[in-house]
Amino acid sequence: MADLLVRPRRLRFNPVVRDLVAEARLDARAFVMPHFVLRNPVAAEEIDAMPEIRREGIDRLSATVEADLKLGIRAVLLFGVPGDDEPKHPDGRSSYADDAITPRAVAALKKRFGNDLVVITDVCLCAYTDTGHCGVIEHGRVANDPSLEHLARQAVAHAAAGADIVAPSDMMDGRVLAIRQALDGAGLVDTPIMSYSCKYSSGYYGPFREAAHSAPQFGDRRSYQMDARNRREALLEAELDVEEGADILMVKPGLAYLDVLRDIKENFTQPVAVYNVSGEYSMVKAAAARGWIDERTVTMENLHAFRRAGADIVITYHARKALAEGWL
């Protein structure tokens, strides 16, 4: 075998050569760091199911974001978390009230960091409705069309406060169009929409629901989030969102849907985001804490898998540690 002309191992011996020819590359510019925002400006609450991730008030959040910026994290995704004593309504109207949590956080971050920081906001009703569902309930079911007005008003409130991108995650049919028309009507024509186009009903969201206090009070979300058995349907969802004005498409969760991520990348010209969700994060942290896996190795395998499958943007709770520890 000594006369073999083709030897792939030639490019693997030297680590510098391996880096030179690597097909999937990561850098901080691809990362978006999610944050859970509390009303009390100085509050900080640990999240049992998500080690090293906290709910924070706006003052604490600003300090955290400043430290993350120094690491190279230039984009954040905000989730407002109302307190147990805050009113919740059937239509989630507190999400766009004058004192709503997310717009206040957006305004504070943009005032402090300006264009150095990209602020993306999650647009959904689940944390603000008395049912924990992502839309208005009528006759015991999530009603699609009556929910659109409230989602659109929330998106406008976020954009008016200075959000660089709004990201609807509710999975109501037609919500991208409703939001686009509302933004344009408010003179916010330059605000992009990052649509959770392919958001599956998933068991990987468990830790997030603890973090955001957003578990539904009855039933589940299978009537509006996608069925995990479906692949072709994702192309339809993405196509509809593009037709309605989506600027960025997202696949969520990530690891169990890499085939879908690749399909979206190959069939659309819009930038593609992937959400490395809470359950994916927490499984790595739990196994690493028990010594069952090496956290750095597994985290980087997962992040490279997203890039390899076609993600331009990676929303991940691992971003801070990966950069702080020099894993990239």
Across the 328 residues of the chain, what is the mean pLDDT of every consecutive 10-residue run?
84 93 92 97 96 97 98 97 88 93 98 97 94 90 95 98 97 97 98 98 92 78 93 98 98 98 98 98 98 98 98 98 96
Which one of 70, 110, 111, 199 is the catalytic residue? Answer: 199
Q: What is the pLDDT of residue 76?
A: 98
Q: Catalytic pick from 70, 88, 111, 252?
A: 252
Closest CA to 319 of 27, 61, 33: 33
Q: Which CATH number fits domain 25-222+229-324: 3.30.230.10, 3.30.565.10, 3.20.20.70, 3.20.20.150?
A: 3.20.20.70
Report yes or no: 250 and 196 within 8 Å, Cβ to Cβ.
yes
What are residue 253's phi and psi, to 5 degrees? -65, -175
In the three-class reduction of DSSP (H, G, I as helix; E, B as strand; rest coil), residue 146 is classed as helix
| 199 included as an active-site residue | yes
Please give the pLDDT value at position 101: 96
Q: What is the pLDDT of residue 265?
A: 98
What was the pLDDT predicted at 83? 85
Are the CB atoms for 310 and 270 separated by under 8 Å? no
Q: Please name the helix (run of DSSP H) or strand (run of DSSP E) that holds residue 223, with its range, or none.
A: none
Closest C-alpha among 161, 163, 137, 165 to residue 150? 137
> The whole model's pTM is what?
0.96
Q: Look at residue 1 in the predicted model and tell me its pLDDT.
A: 63
3-state secondary structure of 171: coil
Listed by start position, the domains of the chain span: 25-222+229-324
Euclidean distance between CA atoms 142 and 138, whole angstroms: 6
pLDDT of residue 218: 77
* Paired strand residues for 226: 200
321 included as an active-site residue: no
